Amino acid sequence: MLASCSKDSDNEWLRMALPKSASTDGEQLFGLWLGAWIAVGVTFLIVFTLIIWSSIRYRRRSDDYVPVQVRYHLPIEMLYTVAPVIAVAAFFFHTVEVQNDITEESKNPDHVITVVGQKWAWTFDYMGEDAVNGKDVFDAGAPDDIADLYLPVGESVRFELRSPDVIHSFWIPEFYRKLDVVPGEENSFEVTPDREGTFKGRCAELCGMYHSRMLFNVHVVSPEEYDAHLRELEADGNVGAPMGGAESHTIKGLEEAEEEAS
Ligand SMILES: [Cu+2]
């Protein structure tokens, strides 16, 4: 509660702990989130009021008085069987509706970025139309030097998720989206960032010893800055399409730590 008073918190509590959205899916996903909280709140109030009311109204008032014992009350039993089914059906309906909408992928997104999650860092490969002078460029992170993901504001991006080792999960909280990165599977999703800013990305699947170091920075910038960044990557020699930076597989002190642990 106190943390929510901080200037940085930006009234997060008003959004029920969600960060401020940075993608065009935000409104719809937030509607689902808020609707679920309202439904849960209303259900809680009704149930809690009934519990309090009935335990006061029908309490045992003296030692020689036993309240009326009710059993096999068909209407009540019907109610508490049918009501949860209706509630779950409503949640299910709205979830599927929003899910179908946001997981739909366009044939030609403005950008396609291959995201490689490997123990314990991320690599971002900018390919296809984003190639600089015909060459794909990339940004490979390492646990002690996390990668930067650049995205142009207002343009659609498809992330193609790849893992050479174990299951990771690609999560950018401000996009309200995360998806598992599964070895051998080709998971993908699309977003259109709608607000410039710098955000934190994380791995959301406990993937091993240095899972907590699997961070990355997300920079949503103007299309001009985006192009400039890709040219910078090319100038720095980050050219080609590696399936993960080789240095990401080795961590200083890892072998010693593993020996110690075994
Ligand atoms: Cu991971």
Cα separation, 221 vs 236, in Å, equals 20
Lowest mean pLDDT among 136-145, 187-196, 201-210: 136-145
Say how many Å lie between the CA of residue 41 and the centre of ligand 1: 34
The set of residues, in sequence order, having a beta carbon less than 8 Å from that of 203 and lying 6+ positions away, is 117, 120, 122, 168, 169, 170, 171, 211, 214, 215
Say how many Å lie between the CA of residue 213 and the centre of ligand 1: 8
Q: What is the mean pLDDT of residues 186-191?
A: 94
Name the residue type at position 150: Y
Does residue 225 or residue 119 have the better pLDDT?
Answer: 225
| Residue among 138, 115, 114, 144 nearest 214 (CA) | 144
Say how many Å lie between the CA of residue 218 and the centre of ligand 1: 17
Is residue 244 within 8 A of residue 118, CB to CB? The reply is: yes
Cα separation, 209 vs 190, in Å, equals 30
Cα separation, 216 vs 239, in Å, equals 20
**Cα-based distances in Å from 141 to 46, 216, 231, 250, 251:** 51, 8, 18, 12, 12
- Token pair 């961070």 is found at 215
SS3 49: helix
Say how many Å lie between the CA of residue 116 and the centre of ligand 1: 10
**Is residue 116 very low, low, confident or very high in pLDDT (cuts 50, 70, 90)?**
very high
With 0-12 / 13-18 / 19 or more C-beta atoms within 10 angstroms meaning exposed / middle / buried, residue 104 is exposed
Residue 246 confidence (pLDDT): 57
The set of residues, in sequence order, having a beta carbon less than 8 Å from that of 223 and lying 6+ positions away, is 152, 153, 154, 155
Say how many Å lie between the CA of residue 204 and the centre of ligand 1: 7
Q: Would strands 147-152 and 215-221 be described as parallel, antiparallel, or unpaired? A: parallel
SS3 171: strand
Say how many Å lie between the CA of residue 27 and the centre of ligand 1: 28
Say how many Å lie between the CA of residue 168 and the centre of ligand 1: 4
What's the mean pLDDT when you consider all of the chain?
88
What is the set of domains in the chain, with CATH numbers?
A: 22-61+69-103 (no CATH), 111-245 (2.60.40.420)
Cα separation, 14 vs 71, in Å, equals 44
Say how many Å lie between the CA of residue 185 and the centre of ligand 1: 15
Say how many Å lie between the CA of residue 31 and the centre of ligand 1: 29
Cα torsion 217, 220, 226, 230 to 10°: value is 20
> What counts of helices (H) and strands (E) characterise the chain?
4, 10
% residues pLDDT > 70 (the chain): 89
Task: Judge whether residue 2 has pLDDT over 80.
Answer: no
Lowest mean pLDDT among 66-70, 71-75, 99-103, 181-185: 66-70
Residue 231 confidence (pLDDT): 92
Name the residue type at position 210: Y
Torsion sign over Cα 160, 163, 166, 171:
negative
